[in-house]
Amino acid sequence: MIQVFQAMNHILDKHADIELIFPMHKNPKIRALIHTNLKPSHRLHLIEPLDVFEFHNLAKRSDLILTDSGGIQEEAPALGVPVLVLRASTERPEGVAAGTLKLVGTAEVDVVRAVDELLTDSVAYEKMATARNPYGDGKTSNRIVSIIARYFGLTTDILPEFRDKSDDKERELE
């Protein structure tokens, strides 16, 4: 953790145009490490943990996410935000394979290098931000409503917001 905090200090020193928002763990020992190892800065915002809605709102407005959380590894790609995973391995290898996640570990030099790349190389950034999300496209509920409507002989015309446009393509092929 100390190496990650050192990387965060380095990133704030090197990139004067960024702000870093850090939701702190509730554990007092971890909080002590944070306060001991992160240099105070007006661009460093230490905040309390967020609920899921607050997190999604903040994540959507973020340019980049650094995390060791498995849940965030699944959620952030749906928002089009590149995720650097602060672990040596992940139980979500499909995200790495798809290019929405990048394993960087916790060594200061590796974290700084990965952040620098995404902050300075627009091609690398865009590649991660627009990679196909392996966890779905966010349209599953629309597909389910469409299938249920067809099953009961209803048309999705009465529920246009749930009409799955991919249905139209499938019908054209039939």
80 shares its domain with 147: no
CA distance 130 to 81: 8
Give every residue of the chain whose pLDDT is below 70, as ranges. Answer: 155-174
> Over the chain, what is the mean pLDDT?
89
Site of tokens 């990650």: 4
* Both tokens assigned to 53: 């809605």
Tally of domains within the chain: 2
55 shares its domain with 102: yes
Which residues on neighbouring strands pair with residue 102, listed in sequence order?
84
Residue at 149 is within a domain: yes
Domain that holds residue 32: 2-129
Residue 70, domain CATH: 3.40.50.2000
* Both tokens assigned to 83: 């995720």
- Specify the pLDDT at position 16: 94
Residue at 135 is within a domain: no
Nearest to 104 by CA among 75, 130, 124: 124
- Contact assessment for residue 33 and residue 54, using Cβ atoms and an 8 Å cutoff: no
- Specify the pLDDT at position 173: 45
